[in-house]
Amino acid sequence: MTALRALPPLAGFDPLALKAEFPIFTHHPKLVYLDTAASAQKPDEVIDGIADFYRTEYANVHRGAYRLSMQATERFEQARETVRCFLNAASTEEIIFVRGATEAINLVAQSWGMGLGPGDEILITGLEHHANIVPWQMLRERLGITLSVVPVTDEGGLDMAQFAQALSPRTKLVALTHVANVTGHVTPVADAVRLAHAAGARVLLDGCQAAPRMHVDVRALDCDFYVFSGHKCYGPTGIGVLYGKRDLLNDMPPWQGGGDMIRTVSFETTTYQQAPFRFEAGTPDISGAVGLDLALRFMMRLGLDAIEAHEQDLTDYALAALSTQRGVRLMPGGGCQLGALSFTVDGIHPSDLATILDQLHIAVRAGLHCAQPLMARFGLPSTARLSFGVYNTPADVDALVTAIATAQRLFGA
């Protein structure tokens, strides 16, 4: 397997023209899809590529001495190299395939985290998704560690002075979202990593909303772990990535046991492979890795900086449009937001609003967005959330604003 060369990005891209590459919009030509933070739509090259792999190349990997298995193994490991390039990791040995970011965080908790004990602390923030809260609570209940939370400011961001003050010699891990899934708040992760490392703590970054929207360089960030899910990056569900520094991964015990993660097995003892294979027990999601490879190449072809610029323009446009709409209240996002916004409309429950918007062919999410503590912080039982992808345009925002006005008339709000 050869190292993946950086793909030359397009000189910007036309989202309207790009829509033609996503068959969902052919089948639903009126659809205004504003729920990419939950899951991105899939381009033809990903859908067709997965189908072609099953039709013409499929076999199990790492185990067969026959040509088809070796070719499938090559495709699978090429996907690992593509992820390495996407994140600018130092080695493919630092890239572990998992079912998604949730499994990646649980893997760290149930492997690396098992070395913790009473008196040790994990530090999270009030911005976190449930997947970056619950695994650490489970570890607390099991091991007696402390779980501390850096609060969110009234403006919806993090007070870095409070963050720095919360760090202590007891802090062993900081688990922090890169981009908040509810508000799109972009956290100052580089500063957080620097402060955490100075205090002797490791850092895990939840990149679920960052990886689809910006260039992520794990070596520049110097984070110890980084996680993201394939389905939010225009790839298939059921595949995700855990990045970890190689020496750190090789010091961690396996999380699950089975085939392919072992060197030798006897009834007396078992020895394990090095990372990444020690964390990939059993037959992996082979087609998922192939699909993720295709999706990340699709993003790199568009250009990660171009995607970020596009989504930043859309976010700024939506902030301006919604902030002037009568009766619309934006959830505070800390003054630096990308790709996602949450809001309420006076007199209309978010679920009712989402139902009306759906009748007008606009897809948004309504609810707690797997961030109940953050919603409670602002006294909100529910919000509507819009989120962008490469296929969205300012006209989609205009359609949303018009549809909100229609809903307000229907509800007399």
Query: CA angle, corner 306, sides to 290 and 131, nearest 5?
Result: 55
What is the rounded distance in angstroms from the CA atom of residue 73 to the CA atom of residue 63? Answer: 9
What is the rounded distance in angstroms from the CA atom of residue 409 to the CA atom of residue 413? Answer: 6
Ordered alpha helix ranges (H), 38-168: 44-56, 67-87, 101-110, 134-143, 160-166
Could you list the beta-strand ranges (E) of 245-285.
Answer: 262-265, 270-272
In single-letter form, the type of residue at position 71 comes to: Q
Q: Between helices 101-110 and 134-143, what is the axis angle to 10°?
A: 20
Residue with tokens 């989120």: 387
- CA-nearest of 245, 225, 252, 251 to 110 is 252
What is the rounded distance in angstroms from the CA atom of residue 34 to the CA atom of residue 23? Answer: 16
* Annotation says 233 is catalytic: no
What is the rounded distance in angstroms from the CA atom of residue 230 to the CA atom of residue 211? Answer: 9
Q: Of 85, 223, 233, 370, which residue is the catalytic one?
A: 370
What is the rounded distance in angstroms from the CA atom of residue 87 to the CA atom of residue 209? Answer: 14
Structure tokens at 49: 């590529």
Q: Give the active site residues.
A: 370
